[in-house]
Structure formats: C-alpha cells, structure tokens
Amino acid sequence: MIGRSAGPASGEPMTPVLRARGLGRRYGRRWALRDCTLDIPGGHVVGLVGPNGAGKTTLLKLAGGQLAPTEGSITVLGGHPASGAAQQARIGFVAQDTPVYAGLSVADHLRLGAGLNPGWDAALARERVERLGLDPAHRAGRLSGGQRAQLALTLGLAKRPELLILDEPVAALDPLARREFLQGLMEAVAEHEFSVVLSSHLVSDLERTCDYLIVLVDSRVRLAGQVDDLLATHHRLTGPRRDPDRLPAGQHVVSASHTDRQSTFVVRTEDPIHDPAWTVSRLTLEDLVLAYMEGPAPAQGRPVLEVRR
Amino acid sequence: MIEFYLDGRSGVSPYLQLVQQVRHALRLGLLREGDRLPTVKDVVARLALNPNTVLKAYRELEHEGLVAARPGIGTFVTRTLTDASLAAHGRLRKDLLRWLAAARLAGLDDESIEALFMSAFRTSSQEDIA
C-alpha cells in the first residue's frame, strides 16, 4: 500500500516538483514557450496536454535540463535542472518515441543503466524485463514498438527517480501496447511513489492515469488543476438564448455558442446551478480540454486559471 | 470480490465511479460484510488507473463507514446497504409501470416520457435543495 496520505486529497501543499516563473524559450525568432508560470505539486501523475507545437516538448526538455531557458526561471524538485549529476540522478526522462539503442541487446541496456545511474535498482529492472517476457540477448532494434517502449520505461523506472518525465510515451503505440505501457507505469507509481509528468496530444490517454492536468495552448498555460476538481467545477448549460453577461457572478464562461433561440455554455463554478431554465450536463475531461482550446485566449497579464478547493 | 470498470464517456470522475460501483454492489448484495476490496496496486494494474484515484475512492468509502482498511492486510467491507427501502421497491415499480402505461395511452413516445421524467425529477431535486 502506498503511504502518500499527506498527498493531494488532503490539500496539503507539498514541495512543488516543478516551478516555472515567466519561463520562455526561443528558437531563432520563434517562441516555443512563452510566459509560462506554473506550480506543479508533488505526488501527482501530471498530464501535459495540448495540440502539436504548443510547447510541450520544450517545457519537458527545460525541466529535464536538456534545454536552457531564454527567459524566466525553472526549478525542478527545488533544484536547477542543469545543475549537475546530483540533480540528474533525481529525474528520469523518457524522450519522445521512447528511443533505445537499436544495436544493443536488452541486457546491454540494463548494464548501461547500471553504469550510468548511482541509484540503479537492478532487481527492479531484472524483474520487469522477466515479467515482460523480453529476452535479455535480444537486440533492441528488433523489438516491437510496445516492447521498445517498455524497455525505455524500465530504464526510467530502475533509475528510481523522484520525478519521471515522459514525452508522448504512447503516441506511436497501438491501443493494446498503450494500455500495457500505462498499466506498467501506474503499477510502478503505486509501488514506488514518485511524481510523474507525461505529455500527450490525446486527452483519452490521460483520463485515467493523470490526477492533475495542464493544458498548454500556443505556448501558454491555459488551464492547470486537479482532474477531480476540474470535472466537479465545470458544467455544460443548455437552455433558451441568453447573454453571457446575464449569468450569475460565480459562473465563469469558458466557451459559449448560440443559435437564434438556444445558448450552450461551458462554465466553471464552485456553486451549484439552481436556475431551472438550464439543462445541466457533465463534461468529460476531453470536452473540458476542448472547451479551453477553443475558447478565447485570456487577456495578457491575467493570472492563469487554477482551480483550487 | 468486486471487479471495477470505468466508463470514459460518463463525465463522472473515475474516483466517483469506483465509489458508486461499491455502493451499488452493496445495495444489490453483491458485496457483503467482511468481503475484501481489491488492493490499490491490483486496481491500478488492471485499469491503468492513477493510484491516487483508487486511494481517494477507498478513503471516501472509509469516511462513509462502508469499508475499513486493515494495514498490511487490505480493505474490507464493514456494512451493507441493503436497507429497508428494498421492501418498497416492488410497490413503487408497480406505480411507475402504471404511470408509464398512462403516458403511452396519452400518446407520449419513449423520448417524450424520458424528457418529462427527467424534467420532473430535476424540479423535485431542486425543490429539495432550496
């Protein structure tokens, strides 16, 4: 059983695993990430979602210390990402498309992992490879996509990091391999209690696995919060046409669409909705994310929306 | 032992789905006092679900007095939900069938019946809140 009882549900503020202040990164003239201010609390599996090109990979690489910021600051687990070996040992990084060395065998990968990582958990690595049915003598280049991903995950897990970062780990996998990968990841989280940040452009991948969600659109953070809170505080209202200004003060409009007689709003509110004119329905996480992606961008300088309870 | 599932399209958060499935099983007598719930790790590994979600569901059930965690052993059902209201189900069902027959006789189709029922249901729940 896992003992993170001081974790998310109790509302205790923990040391943030990632803190960004005005973080930005430019490639030539193009900003890949801009004005990113973010606190990711510890003890979560955090989903980073957004369209392709929104800045997800850039943010993750900044967190992993593979990129340096152009402006602003970022700390990960309280330290600077590129500050050296001690910091690197605390963070696992599984890069996009879960790369492995095609010419090396499974056993070679484990030996390499053991040599490079001071906290290497050889038993965990061996046990996982066995359970996955991988032949240690098999060359990585000849594994299936799902097996390669599982090998890359094994390397990330056996490092026993405090934070594991995964960039689109399942994007290239078929549904079954995707499921098996996420099952293995979740099982490891239950057993070893580490924080996870994983990115995806598909919300459906994140719906079950993540308890904290960050939506990145056009290189900016549009939404950040605990998934349960997000689902509990967002509603779809359908009813006779109404001007958004005439909604109660506590109801913040995320998206609105109108026909000549009917209005449909996605609103965020902490209060129950009593108005009998509305048909109130729940949103799936995907609906919710889409509403934020479609909705108007918040004005410059306005604080990023965070749902707190 | 209960086997959990998740409905991704319901808009109900996963932790609430787990809570509701346990309550439902208790109401129908599928789970009884003394039964063990699956371990967090088992649920997580089967459903590819976040462990915090399962923990939160189990804490909620514990808070409601329905289950108790015995450290190192597991989480066990401590009480049932098959209550006295079960006796009233038969009569209520008969009333409802009579009402449905009357609605069809009046020319309502299935969708109209559902819309009317949901609208009346919402009005009555809102009156309860107010």
Q: What is the pLDDT of residues A179-230, one digit of tens each?
A: 999 999 999 999 998 999 999 888 887 888 999 999 998 888 899 999 989 9
CA nearest B128 in A: which residue? A274
Closest by Cα among A27, A14, A54, A28 to A220: A54
Query: What is this structure's pTM?
Result: 0.81
The whole-angstrom distance between A242's CA and the closest CA on chain B is 20
Indicate the average pLDDT of chain A. 87
pLDDT of residue A24: 94
> Residue B19: what residue type?
V
CA nearest A233 in B: which residue? B13
Q: Which residue has the tokens 């879960």?
A: A98
- The CA distance from B31 to B4, in Å, is 12
* φ, ψ at A53 (rounded to 5°): 85, 5
- The CA distance from A199 to A206, in Å, is 9
Here the tokens at position A202 are: 């598909």
Closest by Cα among B52, B49, B76 to A206: B49
Question: For an interface test with B, which of A150, A193, A208, A278 has the most B Cβ atoms less than 10 Å from its Cβ?
Answer: A208
Q: Which residues of chain B have pLDDT under 70?
A: 83-84, 128-130
Long-range contacts of A303-308 (CB under 8 A, 24+ apart): A304/A37, A304/A38, A304/A221, A304/A222, A304/A223, A304/A224, A305/A222, A305/A223, A305/A224, A305/A225, A305/A268, A306/A224, A306/A225, A307/A225, A307/A226, A307/A229, A307/A230, A307/A233, A307/A268, A308/A225, A308/A229
Q: Is the dihedral of CA B101, B106, B110, B115 positive or negative?
A: negative
- The CA distance from A269 to A230, in Å, is 10
Domain coordinates in residue numbering, chain A? 8-218, 228-294
Question: For an interface test with A, which of B6, B12, B13, B129 has the most A Cβ atoms less than 10 Å from its Cβ?
Answer: B13
Kindly report the CA angle at A155 between A149 and A161, in degrees rounded to 5?
Answer: 120
- The CA distance from A210 to A198, in Å, is 9
Question: For an interface test with A, which of B5, B6, B20, B50 has the most A Cβ atoms less than 10 Å from its Cβ?
Answer: B50
Q: Which residue has the tokens 């990164």?
A: A25
Q: Which residues of chain A have pLDDT under 70?
A: 1-14, 295-309
Helix, strand, coil % in chain B, rounded to nearest 5: 60, 10, 35
Assess contact for A297 and A218: CB atoms under 8 A.
yes
pLDDT of residue A161: 95
A198 DSSP 8-state letter: E
pLDDT of residue A9: 43
Domain A8-218 adopts which CATH fold? Rossmann fold (3.40.50)
Check CB contact under 8 Å for A9 and B12. Answer: no
Q: How distant, in Å, are the alpha carbons of A30, A118, A120, B14 from that of A56?
A: 15, 29, 28, 25
Q: In what order do the strands lie in the sheet with A71-76?
A: A30-41, A16-27, A71-76
Domains of chain B (ranges, CATH numbers): 14-77 (1.10.10.10), 85-129 (no CATH)
Q: How distant, in Å, are the alpha carbons of A59, A115, A119 from that of A84?
A: 19, 17, 15
The whole-angstrom distance between A276's CA and the closest CA on chain B is 7
CA nearest B75 in A: which residue? A1
Interface TM-score (ipTM) > 0.90: no
CA nearest A272 in B: which residue? B129
Q: In what order do the strands lie in the sheet with B36-37?
A: B36-37, B74-77, B67-70
Contacts of B49 in chain A (CB under 8 A): 186, 208-209
A146 in contact with B at a CB cutoff of 8 Å?
no
